[in-house]
Amino acid sequence: MRAGFRLFSPPTYYYHRPPTPPLWRLSTPRSNNPFAASAAARSRTLTMVATPEEIEAMAPPGYSFPEHRLRLQQSEPDREPLVLVAPGSYSPITFLHLRMAVMAADYVRYNTNFELIGSYLSPVSDAYKKRGLAPACHRRRMCEIAAEQTSRFLMVDPWEAEQTAYVPTAVVLDHFEHEINVKRGGCNGKRVRIAVLAGADLINTMSQPGVWSPSDLRHILGDFGAFVLERAGVNIDEALGNLKEYEDQIYYIPQVVPNDVSSTKIRLLLRRNMSIDYLIPAEVIKYIDEHGLYNEDDTATNEKGKEKEVQ
């Protein structure tokens, strides 16, 4: 792993909680200390790509920001409050998507000076043209079923899914900035750090010239930051090496227990009339059966979430 990027603590943390978390934090070299980055972030004023008026105008009819699991009272006020946003296709949602949220929560707790106060899934809208993409209403509902039945803290924000036009990730993050820090005043008066949560395959596309808008990339990684989960087949050293200017804003999370399930593979099994039990939540399987989803051929699909940002 290239020096300068956040590394996961040894896997032993899963089995032995450290006697005092500060001992773990202080063991991190000062030049690579997650606290230095978060302290610097607190001193910055974030400039949004979309204005508050534009964000408000984009609200779908009847939209209400989900906050039933958002904790706006910190239990550890010495830490910086953090909300993670995981944009993606979720066609359908898998256990790896759900595991990504809890792996990130563990990483945040034991390796950073953040306190995670909320975590969101943000399914893309129907305007994101892609083969294998079920209608947004179904993908949103499957995410809601999975989050409500398997998680104590994960929420699904329908704002992006209900848009009639494609919305860049930079604007999606601005929406969360607006809802949490502008409208709700942050957490106890402190600005909440909003960051994107994604697989390494998405970060890999960010390192490729011509795929993402440079201005959006600066906004996403420079202003917000990213927590990146290891994915099989992705050369993370190469990807992160091409994003070195944002190294203080990227936190890399290796998978201690490798999981390579993907939505593409789920759809392939369904097309072959094979079982998908124990790969996605049982109630999501029931929903897919009830609505006859994923019966069509989509062999050209490449499941990498929201990877194409330049229109």
DSSP-based helix, strand, coil % in the chain, nearest 5: 40, 15, 45
**Residue 288 has which token pair?**
């897919």
Would you say 31 and 278 are in contact if contact means Cβ atoms under 8 Å apart? Answer: no
Topology of the domain covering 11-58+68-259: Rossmann fold (3.40.50)
DSSP assignment, residue 245? Answer: G
Each residue of 253-292: pLDDT tens digit?
999 999 999 999 999 999 999 999 999 999 999 999 999 9
Alpha-carbon distances of 274 from 200, 269, 271, rounded to whole Å? 28, 5, 8
The bridge status of strand 80-88 relative to strand 193-199 is: parallel
The domain limits of the chain are: 11-58+68-259
The CA angle 145-149-155, to the nearest 5 degrees, is 65
Strands ordered across the beta sheet of 154-156? 154-156, 114-123, 80-88, 193-199, 226-229, 250-253
Q: Are 55 and 178 a contacting pair, CB within 8 Å?
A: yes
Amino acid at 22: P
- Residue 309 in this model has a pLDDT that exceeds 90: no
Tell me the per-residue pLDDT of 184-243, one tens digit each, with 9 for 90 and over. 999 999 999 999 999 998 888 998 888 999 999 999 999 999 999 998 888 888 888 889
